[in-house]
Structure 1
Amino acid sequence: MGGGQQSAGVGPDYVPLPDQLQIAGEIALILLKQDYLMMLCEAMLRFGAPSHRLDHKMERAASKLGLDAAFFTQPGVVQIRFGDPVTRTSETHILRCSNGYNMAKLADSVHLSRAVEQGKMSLDEAVDRLDDLLHMPDQWPWWAELIAYFIASFAGVPLAFSGNWIDASVAGVLGLVVGLMTLLARRLRAYSDLFEVSASVVVSFIAAALHNYVCFWSVALAAVIMVLPGLMLTTSVMELASRCISSGAIRLFYALTIAILMGYGLLLGVELWHIFDDFQVSSKASCASISSWWYFLLMPAIAVSFNIQLQAAPRQWPVMTLTLACGFTTFYFITLYVHSVIAAPAISSFVIGMVGNIYAALTGEPAVVPVLPAILLLVPGSLGVRGTLAFLQQSQNDGLLFAINMIMTSLGITVGLFAAAIVSLSLLPATRRRRTDLMAL
């Protein structure tokens, strides 16, 4: 045999067994890292992470793991590209996941990702934990959500819509009805397409029927306070301001569509009541309000309802309630002296953002947890629905004014939150070290 002849049974592409095992292990590790990133991204979207900051957050997590990855999030879907610089190839994954809010699970997901980045948790354990988070039931059952709908509508009348106790009682019952309709929409796909319109029609019809005893505007808007699109509208403006043009435009158009549907439903309910009574609703109607001293009791009540709706753990309630109280108190006293659609939301949201970022810097918790319920009281959902009603009633001047106020309120909230993030990054070293701004609005 010649010296260059191959050994028996060994080809030119032969790879020794130890090398094969090493290559297989490296491939398995890469696939595990990719699975972890995809599950983490899905968890962040489903649990309420700020979408305009999520792409950067996920790319930073991929960089920590040594992967070349790019993320592109849209409402309800995310595209993930994993690249291989050696072979110059890439693969793209498209994940469909519904956007929601679960503050307890969001905080757990943030802590989990931080533990992986710091090497305190293995990828195998992280994947198992994420799988448990994605499949475990919510923090609060359906009956607790119904109670939250009642409390939010009851307390929302005097806090947000200047109503009295009779208005609050009726709105609370109607809010409970809206909560039942919400649960029905989750279970029946066909009904979910008509949910906003049907809920608005029912609420408007009953409020119009009781117009001799209650304030129509206070009752009708407070009853649907949990489904008003104000938070979505504000989020869309923040995405547009963050240069997330595609997702921001989609969310903005969707929020305006929901506002139009709800405005149409409220007007349709009034028109149906006209069959029995010639009741005229006015966008400029004023109602009797209660003493502002009652706000000290109503603020914690509506904070609890928002906390339940956001699926927050009881340990998160104190700071969420405190942040909401700070934001509402600021808004209340500013509006006493400065009658401005621009200044009050901007300053109030700045205070809310500062409280949330200080809390995040001191505890390491995501800042979005205390900020969200406080923003819910500032969002312009009621203004949006009122503007739609004014337009549908052919009051173009009122409709244009309310629409402009709605956008200006969203812009004010956006500017205030972004300013709070900048000030926090400048003044709080812990914020820079932990990069908690990535989980702030």
Structure 2
Amino acid sequence: MLLHRYGTPSHRLERVMTKVAASLGVEAIFLYTPTALVVSIKDAEGETTVVRRVDSGEVHVDKLFRADDVLSKLEAKEITIDLATKQLQSIDDSPPPYPFPVRSIACAISCGAIAVLLHGSRADFVAASMIGFCIAGIERAQTQFGQERNLVQPVAGFVAAIVSLAIAHFVMPIDDRLVTLAGLIVLIPGLSLTVALTELAVGHLSAGGARLAGALVSLLTLFLGVAIAWRFAQSWQNVPLQPDDPHWLWQWGALIIAPIAFAIVFQARVAQWPVIILVSLLGIFVSRSVNPFYGVEVATFAAAFAVGCGSNLYARMRDRPALIALTPAMIILVPGSIGYRSLSAMLDHQTIEGVEFGFNTLLIAVCLVGGLLTSNAVVPPKHIL
């Protein structure tokens, strides 16, 4: 359940568990969905089926890294099952590699970098960073007070929208909608949408369908908070400015800083940063190089293919999980922002534009899935994770 809790997709999780069971001489069948885990074990006395209610959590790269190391030792029979259980429990109980202030600053910087990548101004960068810091505080408060996770999305959406409107109206001219989108980027379920389509593509229909529904509901509840803020502060809304694109140095700075910030957000240790940065920059470079010639669809496919090949190559060379480099790199490519814009257009009664954005979201997600699956065929990962 530790692998499930920290971001392992169903098709990878089931294969890992089946492989470990086979190495231990146990005949078992596993079925995983985002909210349930079914294990059926056969022995001389018959078949025993166990059902566990589980909840998926945030991606935690470091714990996935350490858990994979324990499972590799168990598969090689270097440690016993009891020792492996104790070590996995120790990993689960271990504190995060970065204290909350560091993660909050990383969240703020990642939101500001996304604002720059969306061609926002310097003022947009500052405002988005402030909102990202607030979002980190909201998530922290939810954890401390034990509130339901589903309350975070509408509250965060409302706070992000109302703060961006207040800054635009009372403090300095910014594009409040761009800033709201950038400030919420760590909560927009673009990665979940891509993972869900990947699970559906490889035949894991129950897990993929459940995850897809969950991603759509998360996006809707997030946008619910935004919509309420827009109605509440309707008099603050101004026509968004169209500032000049930020200087190319800002663009390149954001491209370099964003992978590091997301690496911290996803709890990757410093030793794992270099491969995350390299794979992320590879995906961005391929996307921006291909897009002017062949369009966003081909560029997205090529970028996902490059990220997948780079991650799998790292996995083969270092005997480590490909998810370490793959997950932070994919967050920059996923189409969650377009899905948000689709709902925004619908709220403004721009139905045709909203439908177009929604279709583009699905199309880009499919292109990402196609690129990742193709990369797995060209450069098969040595590890299942």
Partner of 1:69, secondary structure, is: strand
TM-score, with structure 2 as normaliser: 0.94
- Paired residues of 2:7 and 2:56 also in contact (CA < 8 A): no
Distance, in Å, in 2 between the alignment partners of 1:217 and 1:331 is 24
Distance, in Å, in 2 between the alignment partners of 1:60 and 1:153 is 39
* Match status 1:263 vs 2:223: yes
Distance, in Å, in 1 between the alignment partners of 2:179 and 2:236 is 18
Distance, in Å, in 2 between the alignment partners of 1:355 and 1:190 is 39
Q: Which amino acid aligns with 2:40?
A: R
Q: Which moved more, 1:398-407 or 1:289-298?
A: 289-298
Distance, in Å, in 1 between the alignment partners of 2:168 and 2:293 is 32
Call closer, same or farther: CA 1:381–1:290 in 2, change over 3 Å. Answer: same
* Match status 1:178 vs 2:135: yes
**Paired residues for 1:245-260 under 5 Å:** 245-260=205-220
Q: Give how far 1:47 is off.
A: 2.5
Call closer, same or farther: CA 1:190–1:128 in 2, change over 3 Å. Answer: closer
* 1:45-93 Cα deviation digits (max 9, x unpaired): 1232232221122112111111121111111331111122x33332324
361, 366, 369: which one aligns with 2:324: 369
* Match status 1:101 vs 2:56: no
233, 240, 258: which one aligns with 1:302: 258
Q: Which amino acid aligns with 1:406?
A: T
Q: Give how far 1:155 is off.
A: 1.0
What corresponds to 2:126 in structure 1? 169
Partner of 1:323, secondary structure, is: helix
Q: Give the superposed CA RMSD.
A: 1.8
What corresponds to 1:129 in structure 2? 87
- Paired residues of 2:127 and 2:167 also in contact (CA < 8 A): no
Q: Give how far 1:145 is off.
A: 1.5
Between the two proteins, the alignment pairs up a number of residues equal to 382
Q: Which amino acid aligns with 2:191?
A: L
224, 230, 238: which one aligns with 2:190: 230
Partner of 1:187, secondary structure, is: helix
Q: Give how far 1:134 is off.
A: 1.5
- Paired residues of 1:259 and 1:385 also in contact (CA < 8 A): yes
Q: Give how far 1:401 is off.
A: 0.4
What corresponds to 2:78 in structure 1? 120
Q: Give how far 1:280 is off.
A: 5.3
* 1:314-342 Cα deviation digits (max 9, x unpaired): 110110111111111111222233333x2
**Paired residues for 1:358-397 under 5 Å:** 358-397=313-352
Q: Which amino acid aligns with 1:165?
A: R
* 1:170-224 Cα deviation digits (max 9, x unpaired): 1111111111111112233446433211211122122223436011232111111
- Paired residues of 1:264 and 1:389 also in contact (CA < 8 A): no
Distance, in Å, in 2 between the alignment partners of 1:71 and 1:189 is 31
What corresponds to 1:241 in structure 2? 201
Q: Give how far 1:287 is off.
A: 4.5
- Paired residues of 1:353 and 1:417 also in contact (CA < 8 A): yes
Call closer, same or farther: CA 1:334–1:287 in 2, change over 3 Å. Answer: farther
* 1:226-283 Cα deviation digits (max 9, x unpaired): 1111111111111111111111111111111121222232222222222x346357xx
What corresponds to 1:420 in structure 2? 375
What corresponds to 2:271 in structure 1? 315
Distance, in Å, in 1 between the alignment partners of 2:78 and 2:9 is 25
What corresponds to 2:293 in structure 1? 337
Q: Give how far 1:359 is off.
A: 0.7
Distance, in Å, in 2 between the alignment partners of 1:272 and 1:53 is 44
- Paired residues of 1:324 and 1:373 also in contact (CA < 8 A): yes
Call closer, same or farther: CA 1:277–1:295 in 2, change over 3 Å. Answer: closer
92, 95, 102: which one aligns with 1:144: 102
What corresponds to 1:81 in structure 2? 40
241, 261, 283: which one aligns with 1:327: 283
**Paired residues for 1:395-406 under 5 Å:** 395-406=350-361
* 1:113-147 Cα deviation digits (max 9, x unpaired): 11221222233322221121121112222212111
Partner of 1:133, secondary structure, is: helix
* Match status 1:64 vs 2:20: no
Distance, in Å, in 1 between the alignment partners of 2:295 and 2:56 is 39
Call closer, same or farther: CA 1:95–1:65 in 2, change over 3 Å. Answer: farther
Distance, in Å, in 1 between the alignment partners of 2:315 and 2:60 is 17
Q: Which amino acid aligns with 1:300?
A: I
- Paired residues of 2:26 and 2:41 also in contact (CA < 8 A): yes
Partner of 1:365, secondary structure, is: coil
Q: Which has the larger Rg? A: 1
Q: Give how far 1:363 is off.
A: 0.6
Percent identity reads 24
- Paired residues of 1:76 and 1:99 also in contact (CA < 8 A): no
TM-score, with structure 1 as normaliser: 0.82
Q: Which amino acid aligns with 1:307?
A: A
Call closer, same or farther: CA 1:277–1:119 in 2, change over 3 Å. Answer: closer
Distance, in Å, in 2 between the alignment partners of 1:410 and 1:278 is 32
Call closer, same or farther: CA 1:374–1:388 in 2, change over 3 Å. Answer: same
Distance, in Å, in 2 between the alignment partners of 1:344 and 1:366 is 26
Q: Give how far 1:44 is off.
A: 1.2
- Paired residues of 1:238 and 1:414 also in contact (CA < 8 A): yes
Q: Which amino acid aligns with 2:166?
A: A
Which ranges of structure 1 fall in alignment gaps of 5 or more residues? Answer: 1-41, 426-430
